[in-house]
Amino acid sequence: MSKATITHIARALNVTPSTVSRALAGNPRVSEQTRLLVQAKAEELGYEPNVMASSLRKGVSNTVGMIVPRINRQFFGNVISGVEAILNPAGYNLLISQSHERVADEVKSVNTLLSHRVAGVLISHSIETTNFSHLQKVLDKGLVLVQFDRVAASLQGAQITNDCFNGAFLATKHLIKNGYKRIGHLGGTLLASVYLDRLKGYQAALNEAGLATGDELVFQDVITREAGFDAMQRVLAAGCDALYCAGDYAALGVIEYCRQQGIAIPGDFGVVGTANESFAPLIAPSLSTLEQNAFDMGNKVAEAFLDRVNGAIFSSHHTSIPMRLIVRDSSLRMQSKLIIET
C-alpha cells in the first residue's frame, strides 16, 4: 500500500534515516555511491516524500494559499494560471479557496489556510470586505501577503493592480481620436477603487481634449448586460455619441440596444468596454476593450510572493500593470472590415 518511508529505505539498505534523507536531498555529505543506492531503492519501493512530515519538521510549507471571489470567473481563472506558471516551477503548490464575494467565507478561508500553515496568502478580497483584521492576522503571523486586483491600501505587503486610470484614459482618448464628441461613461460602484480609477481616467482624457465632462454623462452602477441595455435611453437623451464602459457586459447591452434600434456601431455610436471578456472578439460588431492581462497579473503576484519569501522586503510595494487597449470594430468611426486583433 502507501507505505514506503525514508525509514523503510534506510532499513533495506542498512543505513540510517538521516543518510537517506540527506541522500535524497542531494546533500554533499553523503557519498555518490550511497546516493545512487538510495535513489534506486526509493524508486524500487515507490517512495513518495511526505511533505507534511517534512514541512512540520522544517517549519515551512511549500503550499501557498490563494483566495479569489470566484474561481469560475474567467479573469480569476487566468490569474490563477499565471500564478501557477511561476510558483509550480519554484516548488510551490496552490491551495485555492473561494470567498463567493462573502466576507464570512473569506475569513473562514483565511483561517483554513493558516491551519494549513501556508507560506503565504494571495488574495483578491470580496466586494463585501471592508474590515481587514483577518488579513492583518496573516501579516502578524509573519506570513507573506500579496493582494491583487482588489486591494486594501491600508495593509502591508505587495499589491498588484491594473492601471485602471491609464487604461480608461487610453480608451477614452481612442474614442476622441476617432472623432466622437460627447463621450459618456458606464461605471461601477465607486466603493471599489478600480471603478473610481476608471472614472477618473475617463474624465482626465476628456479634460485634456477640452471636451465636455459632467455628471450627466456618467452613469453609475451599470455593469451588467441588462443595466447597459436599460441605460441607453438615458445615454441617448444625454446626447452621447459614444461610451467608455467599465465592463464588457454593460457594453454588450449597449450593442444589443443599438442593434435593436437600428443605431449603427461604430457608424453612429462608439463603444469601448473593459476586461476583454471571451465574447468580446466574437460578437458583431466585435468589441473594442481594455485587456486586464490576468495571466500577467498572476505572474506578478507570484513574483511578488517569491521576492518576499526570499527576504526581499525592499521589492516594490505596489505594482500597477498597464492595461492594453484592443481596438476592434465597435469604436472605429467608419465601418471597417472584420479586424481581429488578439
Partner DNA sequence: GTTTTTTGTGCAAACGTTTGTATTTTTGCA
Partner DNA sequence: TGCAAAAATACAAACGTTTGCACAAAAAAC
Sites of contact with a copy of itself (CB under 8 A): 1-2, 46, 48-53, 55-56, 61, 63, 70-74, 77-78, 80-81, 84, 93-98, 111-112, 114-117, 137, 140-143, 225, 252, 256, 259-260, 277-279, 282-284, 295, 338
The answer for 4, left when phi > 0, alpha when psi is -120 to 50, beta otherwise, is left
Q: Kindly tell me which of 58 and 318 has the beta carbon lying closer to DNA.
A: 58
Question: What's the CA gap between 300 and 260, in Å, rounded?
Answer: 42
Would you count residue 310 as binding DNA (CB under 7 A)? no
Contact 34, 19 (CB under 8 A): yes
Indicate which of a copy of itself, DNA, none lies near residue 70 (CB less than 5 to 8 Å, by partner kind).
a copy of itself
Would you count residue 112 as binding DNA (CB under 7 A)? no
Q: How far is the CB of 49 from a copy of itself (least distance, A)?
A: 5
Question: What's the CA gap between 97 and 181, in Å, rounded?
Answer: 45
Q: How far is the CB of 13 from DNA (least distance, A)?
A: 8
SS3 category, 164: helix
Q: How far is the CB of 16 from DNA (least distance, A)?
A: 4
SS3 category, 144: strand
Q: For residue 86, what is its C-alpha cell?
A: 511561476
Would you count residue 34 as binding DNA (CB under 7 A)? yes
Would you count residue 62 as binding DNA (CB under 7 A)? no
Q: Kindly tell me which of 12 and 95 has the beta carbon lying closer to a copy of itself.
A: 95
Indicate which of DNA, a copy of itself, none lies near residue 178 (CB less than 5 to 8 Å, by partner kind).
none
Amino acid at 123: I
Q: How far is the CB of 270 from a copy of itself (least distance, A)?
A: 19
Rg of the chain, C-alpha, whole Å: 26
Helix (H) or strand (E) holding 318: strand 318-321
Indicate which of DNA, a copy of itself, none lies near residue 315 (CB less than 5 to 8 Å, by partner kind).
none
Contact 68, 79 (CB under 8 A): yes
Strands 144-148 and 183-186, how do they pair? unpaired
Indicate which of DNA, a copy of itself, none lies near residue 30 (CB less than 5 to 8 Å, by partner kind).
DNA
Contact 124, 150 (CB under 8 A): yes
Question: What's the CA gap between 251 and 265, in Å, rounded?
Answer: 12
Q: Kindly tell me which of 44 and 216 has the beta carbon lying closer to DNA.
A: 44
Residues that bind DNA (CB under 7 A): 3, 5-7, 14-19, 21-22, 24-25, 28-34, 47, 49-50, 53-54, 56-59
